[in-house]
């Protein structure tokens, strides 16, 4: 089953919004793809002959030998090339920006200013321009620091609370900080678009990976800021809720996510041990957290009597959140069974559907990820080689 591509006759929610995308890799491209799905015209500007470096991040590759990484965040975009070391290309890019609504970039602070594309200069060219900068550590004290997702997970505290056990910090299985920053960029851009309707002028939007991560730490950050508690690694357990972790069953681990006393009472009854809910050690969530290890031992013994799939069905029937550890193919199959239509075919490229559903102006999937050969910005005869383009280290996020 494929997700619907949106009625091509429907006027898209962001139709008429033009975005010039100078970003590369993940955070910026993810943000602009989300906006493109709802009708924004996104013009992706890449280096001649080289392009976004994720084009070369293989394996894996699709059946045509193209990077699946690049394809995952670049649908619905037009592709052009511009050598920012070339006077003619810079002038052509300025002409493009003269009528654009949004610029998204992830250069190291100061690089675009040096090239004549800083915010102050471009706002004179186009007062309505919304200028979104995505950096690793902000434009002040962290301006010189490159922002790699792994690095930010490490220094931003995420790895200090992620891992199988204390002393074994672990990164997440996807660049979640880049995704968080991309989503914050979408929020900032759309907020600025709404503000422009009132003021008539654009503004600068700044998003950085470190701040996005600290915001995304939510309750864990709150435990430190409000209670002075510096959380550590709990494996798959939760610092404030129990039972809320993985348990072994007869065949494979089962995730059990009990968030209320009512759910715990239902869990105990389903396990054939209703008395657990009245045990003084487990009667309230606070007591269950205090006696987490003892509770886990009791539940593991009970859950060993059946397979994970069987327990999922039994517990779901009584309103207890539980499920097996699915692989990605199983996860997509689950979403299909639930009618979520998680996959769309974009001109032969299978893509994850936009997760936001709008009743009247749904996401539309118009363009496959652009090939570098599709670049259409005319080149000046004096164009320098791609080596003359600002080096990779002038990009502050990856």
Active site residues: 178
Among candidate residues 30, 34, 43, the one with its CA nearest the CA of residue 14:
34
- How far apart are alpha carbons 102 and 193 in whole angstroms? 9
- How far apart are alpha carbons 397 and 110 in whole angstroms? 14
- Say which residues have a Cβ less than 8 Å from residue 367's Cβ, sequence separation at least 6: 36, 75, 76, 77, 78, 346, 347
- Whole-Å CA distances, 213 to 26, 76, 217, 318, 328: 15, 27, 6, 36, 25
Secondary structure (DSSP) of 57-77: --SSB-TTS-BHHHHTT-TTE
Question: What values do phi and psi take at 136, rounded to 5?
Answer: -80, -45
Among candidate residues 167, 207, 166, 165, the one with its CA nearest the CA of residue 186:
207
- Say which residues have a Cβ less than 8 Å from residue 64's Cβ, sequence separation at least 6: none
The alpha carbon of 294 is separated from its chain's Cα centroid by a whole number of angstroms, namely: 37
Among candidate residues 99, 95, 102, the one with its CA nearest the CA of residue 196:
102
Please report which residue ranges of 202-345 form alpha helices under DSSP H. Answer: 209-216, 218-227, 261-270, 285-290, 292-303, 308-317, 328-337
Question: What values do phi and psi take at 341, rounded to 5?
Answer: 50, 65
CA angle 170, 175, 180 (to 5 degrees): 115
Q: Map residue 140 onto helix, strand or coil.
A: coil
Return the H-helix or E-strand segment holding 91: helix 87-98
Q: Map residue 344 onto helix, strand or coil.
A: strand
Burial class (CB in 10 A: 0-12, 13-18, 19+), 341: middle
- Say which residues have a Cβ less than 8 Å from residue 280's Cβ, sequence separation at least 6: 287
């Amino acid at each position: 089953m494929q997700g619907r591509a949106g009625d091509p006759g429907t006027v898209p929610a962001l139709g008429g919004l033009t975005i010039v995308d100078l970003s590369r890799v993940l955070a910026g491209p993810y943000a602009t793809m989300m906006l493109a799905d709802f009708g924004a015209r996104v013009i992706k500007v890449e280096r001649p002959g080289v392009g976004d470096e994720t084009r070369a991040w293989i394996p894996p590759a699709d059946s045509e030998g193209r990077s699946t990484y690049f394809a995952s965040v670049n649908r619905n975009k037009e592709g052009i090339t511009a050598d920012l070391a070339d006077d003619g290309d810079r002038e052509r890019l300025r002409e493009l920006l003269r009528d654009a609504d949004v610029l998204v970039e992830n250069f190291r602070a100061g690089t675009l200013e040096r090239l004549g594309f800083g915010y102050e200069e471009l706002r004179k060219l186009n007062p309505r321009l919304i200028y979104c900068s995505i950096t690793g550590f902000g434009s002040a004290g962290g301006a010189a620091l490159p922002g790699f997702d792994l690095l930010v997970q490490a220094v931003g505290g995420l790895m200090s609370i992620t891992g199988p056990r204390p002393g074994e910090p672990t990164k997440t299985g996807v660049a979640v900080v880049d995704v968080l920053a991309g989503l914050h960029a979408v929020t900032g851009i759309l907020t600025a678009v709404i503000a422009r309707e009132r003021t008539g002028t654009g503004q600068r939007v700044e998003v950085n990976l470190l701040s996005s991560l600290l915001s995304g730490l939510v309750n864990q950050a709150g435990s430190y800021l409000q209670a002075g508690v510096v959380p550590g690694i709990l494996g798959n357990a939760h610092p404030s809720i129990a039972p809320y972790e993985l348990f072994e069953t007869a065949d494979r681990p089962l995730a059990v996510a009990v968030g209320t006393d009512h759910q715990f009472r239902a869990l105990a009854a389903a396990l054939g041990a209703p008395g657990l809910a009245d045990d003084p050690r487990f009667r309230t969530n606070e007591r269950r957290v205090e006696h987490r290890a003892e509770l886990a031992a009791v539940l593991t013994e009970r859950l060993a009597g059946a397979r994970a799939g069987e327990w999922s069905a039994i517990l779901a029937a009584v309103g207890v959140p539980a499920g097996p550890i699915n692989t990605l193919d199983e996860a997509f199959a689950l979403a299909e069974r639930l009618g979520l239509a998680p996959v769309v075919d974009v001109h032969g490229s299978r893509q994850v559907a936009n997760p936001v559903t709008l009743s009247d102006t749904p996401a539309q999937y118009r363009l496959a990820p652009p090939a570098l050969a599709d670049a259409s910005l005319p080149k000046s005869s004096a164009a320098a080689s791609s080596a003359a383009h600002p080096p990779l280290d002038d990009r502050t996020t990856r």
